[in-house]
Amino acid sequence: MGQKYLWWQRGVIYQIYPRSFQDSNGDGVGDLPGIVERLDYLEWLGVDAVWLSPIYPSPMADFGYDISNYTDVDPLFGTLADFDHLIEEVHRRGMKLLLDFVPNHTSDQHPWFAESRSSRDSSKRNWYIWREPKSDGGEPNNWLSNFGGSAWQFDERTGQYYYHAFLKEQPDLNWRNPEVQDAMLNVLRFWLDRGVDGFRVDVIWHIVKDDQFRNNDPDPNYQPQWAPHRKLLATYNTDRPEVHDIIGRMRAVLDEYDERMMVGEIYLPVERLVTYYGTENSGVNLPFNFQLIETPWHARAIGDAVNRYEALLPAHGWPNWVLGNHDNSRMISRIGKEQARIAAMLLLTLRGTPTLYYGDEIGMHNVPIPPDRVQDPFEKNVPGLGHGRDPERTPMQWNAEPNAGFTSVSAWLPIADDVESTNVVAARKDPNSLLALYRRLIELRRREPALEVGNFVSIPAEGDLLVFRREVANARAFVIALNFGASAAKFSNENLSGKVALSTCLNRENQIIDRAIELRPQEGIIVELRDRMT
């Protein structure tokens, strides 16, 4: 192959939402020792890296995305010693560990903020974003919080407003202040020195705001079902040009170490997203690509999105794909059970690093949350619009017991009512389960250089079919054909000769393909081509 690929280019990332993976101490909330108990499962599944949503001390206003101390572990999840044990166990299995880094905002309970809000002359006043009220006492400008209402909170004691892109309990740090930069870069070093392999960086496109605090304009395309903050285009409070210098500083810290990386959370149109790759040594290694979450689930729309993304990537930019996470409706609830297998095959055969969200591999769906059990502050602030994120954060379903093998007591969120049939133990017994398919796809991908790092070549197809080839010099090449539709479909191509390496349906492996494939309804097939690439 010639070129050397790094672990995060070849590997598969698995996201754990720690509150919901495994409880080890009977409080109904998952924790670090619980994750250690389940590492054998992840090793069996074949994933290469585990990303943990935040585990730091936090008042949990936004379930850990409001951090009151960046260099410790919340007692709910364990201790630093538990963390050291976890990282040791992850590494012993040849896997990597990514932490969530939340640079945009702290908790309002962080000592930095307590100091900052104490007086206008505080040495940390300028660590956060404080502004004078308008002459009528109103908010400094029209910026909106992503979680509803104004993004400005008036602070009686000092008579100024502070900016919070999310909850008022999550004041935004002032990244234009070099002291903030230095302090936060030291947070990275603290965890890198402890052995973490990289970070998922929370809302990285938010961290710098307009220096003139200009008002945002209304979005003429706003739809009432969207979250209220989307009434305005986030022109001046996100995606500012100066963000790239700061990313460059983060990247320089990572590059002080060996093969560490960052993946950045960025919800932007693809043309903007790809700018976050920066230049070769200054950008985010993997700006999260959420197109499989955002694009309507049709072969043509997905195909167009893939081709556009491939075309827009800079030469040094390594692609990546995501099917689900803790902020979006479960994959299966978005696209339906029948398409879950197509989605798995797509995720694991596209060019680029795939990220799986815990539970998607066994087919967990959104769990309805009764009003008295709602936890998510987003849902509490803007109820009834379907933005609540609890449904996709429910406990991992390990077995058919009442608490799903997750905990011995009542769990912090309800457990799905189909736990008897949808759980890891049952799925491991069934050779036709979605879990079995994920495992075989991961295994095939790891074994075949073309699937792991090969080029992506789009093959024209029509209707509900998506077809592409993966190939790399001196290795077997593959054609992937995915039927997004509910009827059988036929695809012919002069160069399509080989045998079926894997199908989403049973009993097709090794079937000979001679210039045409008959796909069953909702079937996806990986064909190993007869002729190797030279």
- Give residues in contact with ligand GLC (CB under 6 A): 62, 65, 102, 166, 202-203, 265, 326-327
Sheet harboring 160-163: ordered strands across? 130-131, 160-163, 152-155
- The neighbour count for residue 368, using CB atoms within 10 Å, is 12
Measured from the CB of residue 530, what is the shortest distance to ligand GLC in angstroms? 45
Question: Do 476 and 502 form a contact (C-beta atoms < 8 A)?
Answer: no
Residue 399's identity, in one-letter code, is: N
Question: d(Cα 162, Cα 127) in Å, to the nearest integer?
Answer: 11
Q: Which of 153/339 has CB closer to ligand GLC?
A: 153
Q: Which of 263/479 has CB closer to ligand GLC?
A: 263
Question: Do 109 and 68 form a contact (C-beta atoms < 8 A)?
Answer: yes
Measured from the CB of residue 169, what is the shortest distance to ligand GLC in angstroms? 11
Q: Which of 285/328 has CB closer to ligand GLC?
A: 328
160-163 vs 198-201, strand pairing mode? unpaired
Q: Which of 288/491 has CB closer to ligand GLC?
A: 288
DSSP assignments along 169-212, one per residue: TSPBB-TTSHHHHHHHHHHHHHHHHTT--EEEETTGGGS---TT
User: Which residues are known to be catalytic?
Assistant: 202, 256
Measured from the CB of residue 430, what is the shortest distance to ligand GLC in angstroms? 32
Q: Which of 96/389 has CB closer to ligand GLC?
A: 389
353-357 vs 320-322, strand pairing mode? parallel
Q: Quick one: which of 181, 160, 226, 190 has its CA closest to 84?
A: 190
Q: Which of 205/406 has CB closer to ligand GLC?
A: 205
Measured from the CB of residue 77, what is the shortest distance to ligand GLC in angstroms? 16
Residue 439 token pair: 């495992």
Measured from the CB of residue 488, what is the shortest distance to ligand GLC in angstroms? 40
Residues 6+ apart with CB under 8 A from 14: 42, 45, 47, 49, 50, 51, 355, 356, 358
Question: Do 470 and 478 form a contact (C-beta atoms < 8 A)?
Answer: yes
**Closest residue to ligand GLC: CB criterion:** 65
Q: Which residues pair with 238 in a beta bridge?
A: none
Measured from the CB of residue 283, what is the shortest distance to ligand GLC in angstroms? 20
Q: Which residues pair with 419 in a beta bridge?
A: none
